[in-house]
Amino acid sequence: SQTIHQWPATLVQPVGSPLSLECTVEGTSNPNLYWYRQAAGRGLQLLFYSVGIGQISSEVPQNLSASRPQDRQFILSSKKLLLSDSGFYLCAWVRVRLAVYNEQFFGPGTRLTVL
Amino acid sequence: GENVEQHPSTLSVQEGDSAVIKCTYSDSASNYFPWYKQELGKGPQLIIDIRSNVGEKKDQRIAVTLNKTAKHFSLHITETQPEDSAVYFCAAQRGTNAGKSTFGDGTTLTVKP
């Protein structure tokens, strides 16, 4: 079966500090990977997605960047955090198939607080 | 791009009653509509989905209906239980769009015992 991991689970960082959040998927190969941010009481905003190693698409302009150094590893980074970067960050994966319907599975999330 | 609107934003029901959450979408090319349940502090979990070639799908106490002409779909939960309390999200996806989904803003469902 497939499993998706995220760490850390919670993080408190000062403004201006760097960030690195990691997501890994087990039990599948060549998945599409996604980073979402969820503000308190709000929906899911897609930040980045990747269809393969080294392939990153950005959905919104922002202070963050993403990288995919390995097939099942997705990293979210920032050089200098802003207060507005606080939120719940979710990684998700989709098994790419010939069919057009793609179930998306989410990780447990990382709660980031920037002070 | 796709726009998904979800109503209501909050819903409170008595245990045993039914709950209905509605979503509308704007892109007529969307063909896959999942529903997620998110418990506090956790990631969303897929609970049911429907594809554009189907009008209704049921899984025990949960059902989803789709009206492609009107571009809206709904989640129905019958015989609600306190453990159904959570935030529910609808989403719409176009099959050729790299698996990206557009999500509604969520509905906070509270089931009172």
CB contact under 8 A, B99 and A32: yes
Q: What is the least distance, in Å, from the CA of A105 to any CA of chain B?
A: 7
Chain B nearest-CA distance from A32, in A, is 7
Q: Distances in Å between the alpha carbon of B68 and those of A12, A57, B24, B28, B90?
A: 44, 30, 10, 8, 15
Contacts of B103 in chain A (CB under 8 A): 43-44
- pLDDT tens, residue by residue, A6-35: 999 999 999 999 999 999 999 888 899 999
Question: What does the longest C-alpha to C-alpha distance in chain A come to?
Answer: 45
Q: Are B80 and B88 in contact (CB under 8 A)?
A: no
Helices marked H in chain A — which ranges?
A: none
User: What pLDDT is stored for residue A97 in this prediction?
Assistant: 67
Contact check, Cβ <8 Å, B42/A109: yes
How far A54 CA sits from the closest chain B CA (Å)?
16
Nearest to B42 among A94, A101, A108 (CB): A108
Residue type present at position B84:
D
Chain position carrying tokens 């209704």: B56
pLDDT in the model for residue A102: 80
- pLDDT truncated to tens, each residue of chain B (113 aa)? 889 999 999 999 999 999 999 999 999 999 999 999 999 989 999 999 999 888 999 999 999 999 999 999 999 999 999 999 999 999 999 877 788 889 999 999 999 99
Query: CA-to-CA distance for A49 and A95, rounded, in angstroms?
Result: 13
Segments in chain A below pLDDT 70: 97-101
Instruction: Answer whether A4's CB lies under 8 Å from A92's CB.
Output: yes
Give the Cα separation of B46 and B39 in Å (integer).
Answer: 12
Q: How does strand A110-114 pair with strand A10-13?
A: parallel
